[in-house]
Amino acid sequence: MAHGAGGKASRRLVDGLLAPLLYRQSDPVEGDRLADAARVLVGGASVAITTDSFVVTPLAFPGGSIGELAVNGTVNDLAVGGARPVALVTTLVLEAGLPTETLVAELRAMRRAAGVAGVAIVGGDTKVVEHGKVDRLYISTTGLGHPLPGVTLGARSVRPGDRILLSGPIGDHGITILLARGELDLEADLRSDTRSVFPLVEALAAAAGPGLRWMRDPTRGGVATSLNELALDSSLGIHLSEEAIPVRDEVRGACELLGLDPLHIANEGQFLAVVAAEAAERGLEAIRRVPGGEAAVVIGEVREEPQAAVLAGSRYGGTRIVDMLVGDPLPRIC
Amino acid sequence: MAHGAGGKASRRLVDGLLAPLLYRQSDPVEGDRLADAARVLVGGASVAITTDSFVVTPLAFPGGSIGELAVNGTVNDLAVGGARPVALVTTLVLEAGLPTETLVAELRAMRRAAGVAGVAIVGGDTKVVEHGKVDRLYISTTGLGHPLPGVTLGARSVRPGDRILLSGPIGDHGITILLARGELDLEADLRSDTRSVFPLVEALAAAAGPGLRWMRDPTRGGVATSLNELALDSSLGIHLSEEAIPVRDEVRGACELLGLDPLHIANEGQFLAVVAAEAAERGLEAIRRVPGGEAAVVIGEVREEPQAAVLAGSRYGGTRIVDMLVGDPLPRIC
């Protein structure tokens, strides 16, 4: 299960097995091959493409459902890949006997989310398998995007002194799913943060221009895993100010009770950005002016040292190493 | 299960439920919305996109495996959509405990098939779910293609007098899967026909030019279902010459024993094309000159009447109505 959790084992699976077996040097792609969205040349035009599958359980939860996640997750991978989301295609694997109401509710959720995000759903495929051969409904979505002009992203563009921006409070999605499963005797007034982050990304890109270096949406594995990947890929040190990272009381409380680190909890409506120091304030203000971006903050900066590591400093002066997610505290989060 | 079989119930599901719920009039797409591949404008460039999920059982069978199907199926949807396949992305849903050898074998199969088809695999996503929540491995693939210049396809372009071309013998894939399950006390020297049909399509398109009206790869539901969809969408009559349709003895024998119609059996390496009468001979010769296209034939023609129906004439002068697949004689064929 850990191989699917988005943390260390996932990275080993992707870097060590999937990418070497599937990729070739000669492929007609541009940029970072392990980014959230790939760039492909189709008849001379650069197209961003990303794909994701969704196996979340339960199918519906406070603030969203698998259909919304399937749209917003793919829209967000395009957004943090520096592209305007244009179109989606989707495949549905249905368990024989799935109630029609469940299917209709999820199709409606997909269309509603696509409408809000301004993308068209242009095609799909459906398979039905026997009862017990899939857990009700799995969805895959693939998104096509149009690269934003003047935006070049990549861990190799990140420089010491760059600032790390976060769009809002973390952990809402993961803890919402955990509580929605009802296996714990815990309740909290919490909703998934699932949404399109493209409006925030677009504002940031316009304000920061070439000062925008890198973006990622911290889903499986959370902020800690995304920033560890950045640290590894850039060979730089990421210094976080723990107290600057917004975490709702409900999320913090649940994490303390369960021995989880909010930095490892999945988000579905936030993004991280690395922005050159001189563009950071401008970028932050631009995000904050967009509805839903009011809580954006600078949470840290990039330094030369320690190479390939993430550190978090507390208000009391202590510093801890923030590791990638190890194992899988919370399977099937998206 | 019938809703996933590609026949009548599938068409009702897609036309009656999925498309109305997911599509909007204002979507930035060109052409037929229920074709095998959609056309989307991305930054002014026309891009063909198609998506498919694969849940075949068993995972490996004579002539191929799920990984090859996942590549070739998507490549073929682009090809019959009139586009040159360029790139693929893929999502894998793995059952916890799936042997690494199985995963590696399927990744190798995907890369090999992609290499043969000349497409790059440019990205992917992996989810792992608990034992029993998926049947070992499901794959979704999405393909991007570059529209072939001068090719405009659609049921509405089809005219009375047009000829119907078929690239080779039918039913090999479906019957191979049926026998590979080992539930029947039948054996035959048969292999899946899984392959890219793009080289054949490209030759046909070059030879027939604007005389090429419509193409489809007859997978789930077989030739009968594809041609019934054409008949419905064009309101024309499709007249087949039963004896012209190539069917291997092993496929015919298995169908006779099991009470199946070869016209309903899935194919993974054949395609149907409607070509203007004056371009049919030229198109056929072009396909036959490509390795693997030697068995291409004209199997019938389009007439005014009977509207929206498919008829097959036998060598003895009888004529039968060929209906869409009803029910699901053979679940999880791809």
Q: Give the model confidence (pLDDT) of B155-188 as tens digits.
A: 999 999 999 999 999 999 999 999 999 888 888 8
Q: If you measure CA to CA, which chain B residue comes closest to A67?
A: B22
What does the pLDDT read at residue A215? Answer: 98
State pTM to two decimals. 0.94
CB contact under 8 A, A49 and B18: no
For residue B262, give the 3-state DSSP assignment. helix
Q: Which A positions 76-95 lie with beta carbon below 8 A of chain B?
A: 86-87, 89-94
Whole-angstrom distance, CA of residue A204 vs CA of residue A296: 11
Q: Choosing among A92, A108, A133, A332, which should be mutated to test the B contact, i.e. which has the most B CBs within 10 A? A: A133
Classify residue B326: in a domain, yes or no.
no
Do the chains contact at B134 and A138, CB–CB below 8 Å?
A: yes
Model ipTM? 0.92
Q: How do residues B228-275 score in pLDDT, each as one tens digit?
A: 999 999 999 999 999 999 999 999 999 999 999 999 999 999 999 999
Nearest CA of chain A to the CA of B302: how many Å? 28
Residue B81 scores a pLDDT above 90: yes
* Interface membership of A232 toward B (CB under 8 Å): no
> Percent of chain B at pLDDT above 70?
100
Cα dihedral angle (B319, B325, B326, B331), rounded to 10 degrees?
150
Band (pLDDT 50/70/90 cuts) for residue B67 is very high
Residues of the domain holding B115: 2-147
Name the token pair of B30: 């060109």
- How big is chain A, counted in residues? 334
Tell whether A128 and A218 lie within a shared domain: no
Are residues A225 and A81 part of one domain?
no
Sorted by sequence, the CB contacts under 8 Å of residue A334 that are 6+ apart come out as A52, A54, A55, A56, A69, A73, A173, A219, A220, A266, A268
Residue A143 within any structural domain of the chain: yes
Within this chain, do residues A276 and A236 fall inside the same structural domain, yes or no?
Answer: yes
Which chain B residues touch A133 with a CB distance below 8 Å? 55, 134-135
What is the length of chain B? 334
Distance CA A213, CA A230 (A): 11
Residue bearing tokens 């994701």: A52
CA A107 to CA A119: how far, in whole Å? 15
d(CA B129, nearest CA chain A) in Å: 7
Specify the CATH number for the domain of residue A191.
Answer: 3.90.650.10
The answer to whether residues A272 and A251 belong to one domain is yes
In the chain, the amino acid numbered B220 is R
Q: Rounded CA gap, B332 and B43, in Å?
A: 38
| Distances from the Cα of A12 to the Cα of A250, B90, B109, angstroms | 32, 18, 21
Cβ atoms of A228 and A323 closer than 8 Å: yes
Local confidence pLDDT in tens for the 334 residues of chain A:
888 888 888 888 888 888 888 888 888 887 777 778 899 999 889 999 999 999 999 999 999 999 999 999 999 999 999 999 999 999 999 999 999 999 999 999 999 999 999 999 999 999 999 999 999 999 999 999 999 999 999 999 999 999 999 999 999 999 999 999 988 888 889 999 999 999 999 999 999 999 999 999 999 999 999 999 999 999 999 999 999 999 999 999 999 999 999 999 999 999 999 999 999 999 999 999 999 999 999 999 999 999 999 999 998 889 999 999 888 777 899 9
Q: At B233, which amino acid appears?
A: D
Task: Clarify whether residues A125 and A173 are in a common domain.
Answer: no
pLDDT of residue A2: 83
Determine the residue type at B135. Answer: D
CA B197/CA B73 separation, integer angstroms: 10
Q: Report yes or no on A333 lying in a domain.
A: no
Residues A136 and A216 in one domain: no
Helices (H), B181-243: 198-208, 222-234
Query: Which range (A172-176, B53-57, B325-329) has the least confidence?
Result: B325-329
Yes or no: say if A322 and A228 are a contact pair by the CB < 8 Å rule.
yes
Q: Do A32 and A159 belong together in one domain?
A: no
Task: Provide, as residue numbers in chain A, all residues whose Cβ is less than 8 Å from the Cβ of B135.
Answer: 129, 133-134
Residues B77 and B140 in one domain: yes
A105 at B interface, C-beta within 8 A: no
Which residue type occupies A213?
R
Q: Which residues 120-159 of chain B have a CB within 8 Å of chain A?
A: 120-130, 132-135, 138, 140, 142, 144-147
**Residue that terminates a domain, selected from B124, B147, B170:** B147
Contact B24 A134 (CB under 8 A): no
Q: What is the mean pLDDT of residues B300-318?
A: 95
Tell me how crowded residue A247 is: count the other CB atoms within 10 A of its CB. 18
- Which residues are CB-neighbours of A265 under 8 A, at least 6 positions away? A170, A171, A173, A174, A175, A222, A251, A255, A330
Whether B329 maps to a domain, the answer reads no
Q: Give which of A89, A85, A148, A82 is closest to A116, Cα–Cα.
A: A85
- A163 with A310, same domain? yes
Q: Classify residue A209: in a domain, yes or no.
A: yes
The CATH number assigned to the domain holding A86 equals: 3.30.1330.10
Same domain, B100 and B186: no
Q: Which of A59, A91, A192, A131 is nearest to B93 (CA)?
A: A91
CB neighbours (10 Å) of residue B23? 18
Q: Are residues A228 and A135 in the same domain?
A: no
- Quote the CA–CA distance of A276 and A207 in Å, as a whole number: 12
Residue A334 maps to a domain: no
Listed in sequence order, the residues at least 6 apart from B284 whose beta carbon sits closer than 8 Å to its beta carbon are: B165, B296, B297, B298
The residue of chain A with its CA nearest to that of B149 is: A43
Chain A and chain B share a number of CB contacts under 8 A equal to 258
Residue A76: what residue type?
Answer: N
CA of A281, closest CA in chain B: separation in Å? 30
Instruction: Determine which of A23, A32, A53 to mutate to test the interface with B (most B C-beta atoms within 10 Å).
Output: A53
**Cβ partners under 8 Å of residue A306, min gap 6:** A237
Judge whether B112 lies within some domain: yes
Least confident of A72-76, A325-329, B124-128, B221-225: A325-329
* Integer angstrom CA distances of residue B63 from A151, A277, B85, B115, B199: 45, 57, 22, 17, 19
What is the β-pairing status of strands B29-30 and A297-303? unpaired
Give contacts of A136 with chain B, Cβ < 8 Å.
none
Verify that A67 and A201 share a domain, yes or no.
no
Residue A181 forms contact with B (CB below 8 Å)? no
Instruction: Return the residue matching tokens 């999605």.
Output: A173
CB contacts of A14 in chain B (<8 Å) are 126
- Bridge partners of B166, per DSSP, are B272, B297
Which of B125, B147, B169 is the endpoint of a domain? B147
Q: Report yes or no on B330 lying in a domain.
A: no
Interface of B with A in 10-49 (CB under 8 A): 10, 13-14, 17-18, 21-24, 26-29, 33, 37-38, 40-47, 49
Q: Check CB contact under 8 Å for A125 and B45.
A: no
- State residue B3's pLDDT score: 85
**With an 8 Å Cβ cutoff, is B244 touching chain A?**
no
Residues in A touching B104 (Cβ below 8 Å) = 17, 21
Residues of A whose CB is below 8 A from B111: 21-22, 24
Task: Specify the pairing of strand A60-61 against strand A45-54.
Answer: unpaired
The type of residue at B183 is: E
pLDDT at B221: 94
Q: Which of A135, A134, A127 has its CA nearest to residue B9? A: A127
Total domains present in chain A = 2
Is A240:A303 a contact under the CB 8 Å cutoff? no
Q: What are phi and psi of B182, to 5 degrees?
A: 70, 15
Residue A184 confidence (pLDDT): 82
- Give the domain-ending residue among B84, B117, B147: B147
